[in-house]
């Protein structure tokens, strides 16, 4: 392994292939893939009493873009939603695989794919790309959500392929702040309709006004009210959530003024 002149010294010499361990037993390419997620807009998933909410701080780099042209929340079949943080094209590739898996399962088993099964497949996929020098790991983390048999479910899969089931989770640049905010919520009592507003509020409060001026709020909901269908929140419900978040932000800001 050749020393890389311009890279910082963190992984020097052991970071050219994902198939190469460092002497400390790290896979630096996977760690760098995590960095791609950490430098991207925050994605948040919250299991509420009767549904699951996904929200993404979709940072938009130019005002020239049409709104909502590059959403970061995807449908995977009718009943599963996916939010992504990290490289968007990688997220789209993961979504494409997930959709194929879900469609195949539905075709063979005659019923919608359980989320636990899909999460396992997505994890296997992402992990497979961490084992060969010919490919690079996916530079994205994904949150998968569904409301199955009356139970809200949320899974998070990271670039290494590791995945867990969560009550609430956040990935991306402000993940620490967002996770702290999620922990403050009383999830067992929170309705999905209110969860949408709370998720919006968390995104707005974690958004860094200075570094990333302009962002779009991508919101989605899978709940008893949507009959288990994954629905992208738009129109009135989106405006209500967005206004609630902005108002909370102003209140917070005005609290700062002594």
Partner 1 sequence: MSASFYTKPANNGNAGVAMETSWDSNPGRQRTLQPITTGASVLAIKYNAGVIMVADTLGSYGSLAKFRSIPRVLRVNDATVAAASGDLADMQFLNTVVENHAIDEEIHEHGIAYSPASLHSWLTRVMYNRRSRINPLWNTYIVAGTEAGQPFLGYVNMLGVAFKEDCLATGFGSHLCLGLLREALDAAGGYAGLTEETATSALEACLRVLYYRDCRAYNQYQLANVPVAKPAQVSGPHFLQSDWSVAKLVKHYTE
Whole-number Å distance between alpha carbons of 254 and 257: 5
Of 74-82, 174-182, 201-209, 237-245, the segment contacting partner 1 by CB under 8 A is: 74-82
Cα gap 87→237, rounded to integer Å? 28
Q: Which of these ranges, 35-43, 103-111, 170-178, 238-246, lies near partner 1 under the rule CB under 8 A?
A: 103-111
**Angstrom distance (rounded) from CA 106 to CA 88:** 26
Q: Does 107 bind partner 1 (CB under 8 A)?
A: yes
Asked if 77 is part of the footprint of partner 1 (rule: CB under 8 A), the reply reads yes
Q: Judge contact between 95 and 102, C-beta under 8 A.
A: no
**Choices 122-130, 146-154, 183-191, 204-212; region in contact with partner 1 by CB under 8 A:** 122-130
Verify binding: residue 254, partner 1, rule CB under 8 A: no
21 SS3 class: coil
For the chain, state the CA radius of gyration. Answer: 19
Q: Which helix (H) or strand (E) holds 148?
A: strand 140-148
For residue 92, give the H/E element and its range.
helix 88-109
**What residues between 8 and 47 interact with partner 1 by CB under 8 A?**
none
CB of 114 to partner 1, least distance (A): 14
Binding of partner 1 at residue 247 (CB under 8 A)?
no
Residue 130 beta carbon to partner 1: minimum distance, rounded to whole angstroms: 10
Among 57, 101, 158, 216, binds partner 1 (CB under 8 A): 101
Q: Are 144 and 76 in contact, with CB atoms under 8 Å apart?
A: yes
Question: Could you list the residues that contact partner 1 (CB under 8 A)?
Answer: 74-78, 97, 99-101, 103-108, 121, 124-125, 128-129, 131-132, 134-135, 232
């Amino acid at each position: 392994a050749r020393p890389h002149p311009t890279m910082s010294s963190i992984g020097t010499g052991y970071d050219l292939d994902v198939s190469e361990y460092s002497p400390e037993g790290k896979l630096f390419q996977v760690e760098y893939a995590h960095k791609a997620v950490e430098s991207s807009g925050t994605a948040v998933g919250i299991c509420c009493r009767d549904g699951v909410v996904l929200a993404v701080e979709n940072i938009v780099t130019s005002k020239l873009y049409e709104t909502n042209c590059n959403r970061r929340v995807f449908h995977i079949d009718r009943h599963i939603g996916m939010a992504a943080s990290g490289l968007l094209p990688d997220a789209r590739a993961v979504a494409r695989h997930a959709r194929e898996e879900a469609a195949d399962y539905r075709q063979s088993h005659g019923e919608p794919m359980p989320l636990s099964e899909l999460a396992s497949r997505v994890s296997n996929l992402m992990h497979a790309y961490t084992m060969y020098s010919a490919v690079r790991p996916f530079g994205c983390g994904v949150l998968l959500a569904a409301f199955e048999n009356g139970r809200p479910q949320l899974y998070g899969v990271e670039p290494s392929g590791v995945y867990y089931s969560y009550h609430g989770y956040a990935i991306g640049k402000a993940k620490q702040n967002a996770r702290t905010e999620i922990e403050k919520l009383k999830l067992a009592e929170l309705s999905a309709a209110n969860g949408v507003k709370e998720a919006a509020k968390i995104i707005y409060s974690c958004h860094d006004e200075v570094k990333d001026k302009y962002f779009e709020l991508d919101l989605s909901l899978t709940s008893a009210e949507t009959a288990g269908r994954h629905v992208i929140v738009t129109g009135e419900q989106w405006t209500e959530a967005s206004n609630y978040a902005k108002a909370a932000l102003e209140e917070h800001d005005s609290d700062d003024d002594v």
